[in-house]
Amino acid sequence: MARELTHQEQLLGNKVVYQIYVRSFCDSNGDGVGDLAGITSKLDYLAELGVDCVWITPFFVSPQNDNGYDVADYRAIDPLFGTMADFEELACEASRRGMELMLDMVFNHTSTEHEWFQRALSGDPTYLAYYKFVDAAPGATAADPGEPPTNWESKFGGNAWEYVPSLNKWYLHLFDVSQADLNWDNPAVRAELADVLRFWRGKGVNAFRFDVVNLISKPDTWENDAEGDGRRFYSDGPHIHEFLQELVREGGIDGLLTVGEMSSTSLESCIGYTNPTHHELAMAFNFHHLKVDYQDGDKWALARPNIAALRDLFVTWQEQMTAGGGWNSLFWSNHDQPRPNSRFGDTERFWFESSTLLPTCTHLMRGTPYIYQGEELGQTIMDFASIDQYRDVESLNYYRILQERGHAAEEAFAIVRARSRDDGRYPMAWDGSPAAGFTSGEPWIGLPANHERINVATEKDDEGSVLAYFMRLIRLRKAEAVIQAGDVRFVDAGNDCVIAYERTLDDTRLLVQCNFSGEEVPALPTDGGELLVGNYAQPAANVLGPWEARAHIWR
């Protein structure tokens, strides 16, 4: 007798989400910056690709110090990206094609240009209570403010506190100094943010992504971190689950397609966030698997990817999230990550194989796959030659910080080139023209030279392209119940470079094998199985080729 699928599996198991970095997707007016009307113009492409939901990075009013993740007005469109009428047309046209829009809500902090923060700076006690302000010592001055409340480090470098002389107070900013952390302990703040969700629900939005949402609950007392940078005090904080439950309830989003970005989180917390009986979020992003090439856990210290550690993380998160009733987001790439094919593969010698190995590995897992714009084309990291070509505030900060730590300028640049968020932020390549069909003007950031061959126009009619391979994976998820809802169990392939797992549902079994190396390795036996998908035209029976991925099915 066939197992009945759970509501969670029915809602999420056959969905595929596509992420758009709005300023880099498509520019409709020639100013060099992508916009909402540009997205509307490409909806047919997304519909043909087969995605169900389109996640758009923030397009709200912002000074753009962190490319829109510093919001100055949650209810207004930044003129850089268009108008409210443009958004309403986009929402209508997406709905007409059966796609949902996922808005990116930055609720841990606001821009210091937000009206709330500006009123706090004026000394208004109501709005001082909207943020995490702490009194400085008596007699503190701009020249000598004394010690900050804690030694916590900002995610973008430097101390996480900024002194305001006119108030004789410090405010917390876990990110850029222009991104002040909100005080979620204040019920008025929580009510404001729930109202923001209701506003966009009124515009027809049915999906939401919450930026670094597991950082919103800060500790009740301020304490120095003698062991690290402070993150252990504010990640998955003391009131996080009650805050999320209230936001979901009051914002009217229970049961919708929602995802939380979870920074430095734990497995137990993510089960709590995503188990549907808790009424928090539908799924969660965790980033542990994207740190396996961090030397000693340091993003800015390069190391070769540890594939054995990557496998262990997939085992833990896939099998235990399933056992705990949680739900995974499946991804390699987003606007904060270097292009994964360059990072985990060999795009010089095995570009196609590296670009298709990674989605084969994760798209067939249990969870909801995410595709980041250009990933489906095999876009690679940037080939910038100078730090002046970068735009990302984090990259520019760390180019300086790395040199302060003793690296030569050339070493610091090599690290930034491998790790920069701008590696994933350059424009989508629509064709091989100088501006890649992205704009009729000058792009806000440069393009790699290989966009002349890695682009939509080149790949769309090529059945052997990376784009065609992604489309096949999407169709398989929608067609095969074992991919949508099957149990997952990892298999020892006898090689640290191979990640292999089984999915099972009723009498159907799927075996996935992925070789994360440039060498041939033994393959697991597949006698009697049907080759469902693979990135080699003629796979050898007993051997996996360099960067080869394949999946067999038994029915």
Q: What is the spatial distance between Cα 150 and Cα 406, in angstroms, rounded to a whole number?
A: 26
Q: What is the spatial distance between Cα 156 and Cα 176, in angstroms, rounded to a whole number?
A: 6
Q: What is the spatial distance between Cα 477 and Cα 48, in angstroms, rounded to a whole number?
A: 15
Q: For residue 177, give every residue at least 6 positions away whose Cβ sits within 8 Å of its Cβ, in sequence order, or none.
A: 112, 154, 158, 162
Amino acid at 5: L
Q: What is the spatial distance between Cα 149 and Cα 147, in angstroms, rounded to a whole number?
A: 7
- Write down the catalytic residue from 35, 52, 100, 211: 211
Tell me if residue 153 is catalytic. Answer: no
Q: Where are the alpha helices (DSSP H) in 150-217?
A: 187-201
Tell me if residue 394 is catalytic. Answer: no
Q: Residue 28 corresponds to which tokens in the numbers above? A: 């409709």
Name the helix (H) or strand (E) containing 329.
strand 329-330
The neighbouring-strand residues paired with 257 are 207
Q: Identify the burial level of 129 via C-beta atoms within 10 angstroms of its C-beta, where 0-12 means exposed, 13-18 middle and 19 or more buried.
A: middle
Q: Are 398 and 300 in contact (CB under 8 A)?
A: yes
- Write down the catalytic residue from 70, 78, 236, 261: 261
Helix (H, G, I), strand (E, B) or coil at 162: strand
- Could you give the angle at which helices 240-251 and 267-274 cross, rounded to 10 degrees? 20
Q: For residue 328, give every residue at least 6 positions away whose Cβ sits within 8 Å of its Cβ, in sequence order, or none.
A: 283, 284, 317, 318, 321, 365, 366, 367, 368
Q: Residue 268 corresponds to which tokens in the numbers above? A: 């137990």
Amino acid at 380: T
Q: Residue 315 corresponds to which tokens in the numbers above? A: 């085992």
Reported in sequence order, the residue ranges of 97-176 that DSSP labels E, i.e. its strands, are: 100-105, 109-111, 133-135, 161-164, 169-172
Q: What is the spatial distance between Cα 331 and Cα 542, in angstroms, rounded to a whole number?
A: 29
Residue corresponding to tokens 């000058």 = 442
Of 450, 234, 252, 240, nearest in space to 339 by CA: 450
Q: How many CB atoms lie within 10 A of CB 7?
A: 9
Of 102, 99, 95, 101, nearest in space to 51 by CA: 99
Q: Are 454 and 378 in contact (CB under 8 A)?
A: yes
Catalytic residues: 211, 261
